[in-house]
Structures are given as structure tokens and as C-alpha cells.
Chain A
Amino acid sequence: MHKAERDTMMTRLNQVEREQFRRLIQDVRTRATASRPGSAVRQMLTSQGHTLSPALRAALEAVAARDALGPQVGTAPPDFCLQRLGAAERVRLSSFRGQQPVALVFGSYT
């Protein structure tokens, strides 16, 4: 599930569906569970999905699919070597192995 596909599902929601989406996601977030939030969304869809509009179901499935992506705990993550802003150096993730943990914040301004 690429970001673009997820975005498409989200933009198809009307105002009522967006509000429903927000409430359902908030419910998932406040529910104490050891499972991944995307798994909790899938469980919710199993029990309530038939009551939701097709667009809302698709958006929630997209969110659940996106949540499952990425290297899982205990696995070796994809290595990278990226340019550091404002510096001549490139930073290689694997160079930190055996040295210190690495905290990553993926994001953008918008």
C-alpha cells in the first residue's frame, strides 16, 4: 500500500465519513492492546465493517495496510546511506551497529 493509494482512499471520504473515521481511529488508539494498531483496525473492520460505507472501509483498510509496512521488531532494517543536510557527509545506518542505538523520525513539513 503506497502512500499515494492511501491518500486516494482518504480523499474519497465525505465529511460524515471523515468524522466517523476520526472516531473509529480514536477508539482504536484508546483501546489497550498489545497488537499493532493496524491489527486492531482490522479486528474492528471484522466486527463492524459491514456497518460502514465502502469508502470508509477502504480508507480504514488502507490505514491498516500501511501500518503493517516496514521492518518489524527484531529484524535487520534496510540499510541506507543518505546525505546529511548542511554537511558534506553521508550517513550510513549500519555504521552505528555495535556503537549506539539510532532513533529515526521520518516526516515532512506539510
Chain B
Amino acid sequence: MEAIYRRYRDHVAFFVVYVQEAHPTDGWQVESNVAEGILFQQHQSYAERASVAATCSLDLHLPMPVLVEEMDNAIDEAYGAAPERLYLIGVDGRVAYHGGAGPHFFDLDEWERAIAASVRAKVEPA
């Protein structure tokens, strides 16, 4: 993902949108998180969500800016986002890529192809 960001960041605005925890300790816990010490309860406040987002950004060295979803999860639900999902919004303001629901159908290659096509369309308008 970082490679995609660095390749296209001059032409595309990239944002991580931090949403509700996929596998909180007080929800559907998974063994891999326990093994790696990634243990967070589901956020009880916006401040908590922002704090965990900041920890995530630092720990994973996320290069792209992070936006934090509000606690009503309205955007998360509108985009069918959680646990993870990729989108591309074209320069025309319309959805250019609607990624498969993560984690099972999360496809970085497909997303990058859409980004590349969008950049070509922007640079070489019809």
C-alpha cells in the first residue's frame, strides 16, 4: 500500500479513514492479535478512537493522512466499510472503484489498477 501511495500521491489524494475496531478485545478477538499484542477494546469515545488511530499510524508507519470516523459510525455504514475496504472517488466526484468487502475481498492490485486508470484519465483527458 505504501508503494501505491508513493507512486501516485502527486496525482491522487490518499486518506486512511479510521473506523471501529475490527477485532476488539471486548468483541470478536482473534489469535493473531493476541500473539502480536494488538489489544484494544471497542472505542468508547472519539478521543479513544483518535488515540488508537494515532498509535496505529505510528506503529505501522502509515505514510498517508488519517481521518477519524465519528462515533456514530455513519460514514462507516454508508460505505459498508468495516472491517476494511478500499474506494477510489474519481475527479468527477463519482465512485470510480468500489472495493470488495474486507478482509476476504480486499484487493490492492485491483485498487491500484483503478488508481492508475484515474490518473491517466486526469493527465490525458478525452
CB distance from B74 to the nearest CB of A (A): 8
Q: Are B67 and A101 in contact (CB under 8 A)?
A: no
**What band does the interface of chain A fall in when counting residues whose beta carbon is under 8 Å from B?**
35 or more
Q: Are B20 and A63 in contact (CB under 8 A)?
A: no
Q: Are A102 and B33 in contact (CB under 8 A)?
A: no
- Count B interface residues, CB 8 Å: 72
When chains A and B are docked, how far (Å) is the Cα of A6 from the Cα of B85?
Answer: 15
Taking a contact as CB atoms closer than 8 A, the residue among B65, B76, B92 that contacts A85 in the complex is B65
Q: Are A106 and B95 in contact (CB under 8 A)?
A: no
Q: Are B105 and A70 in contact (CB under 8 A)?
A: no
Given the interface contacts A25-B104, A102-B12, does A69 sit within 8 Å of B19 by beta carbon? no
CB distance from B92 to the nearest CB of A (A): 7
Known: A85-B67, A101-B118. 18 other contacts (CB 8 A): A69-B79, A72-B95, A73-B96, A73-B97, A75-B95, A82-B69, A82-B70, A83-B68, A94-B93, A96-B13, A98-B93, A100-B13, A102-B12, A102-B13, A106-B79, A109-B55, A109-B59, A110-B30
A sample of 18 cross-chain residue pairs with beta-carbon separation below 8 angstroms, ordered by A number, consists of A3-B83, A25-B104, A70-B81, A71-B78, A72-B95, A78-B75, A80-B75, A82-B17, A82-B70, A85-B66, A97-B93, A101-B91, A106-B17, A106-B85, A107-B85, A108-B22, A109-B38, A109-B60
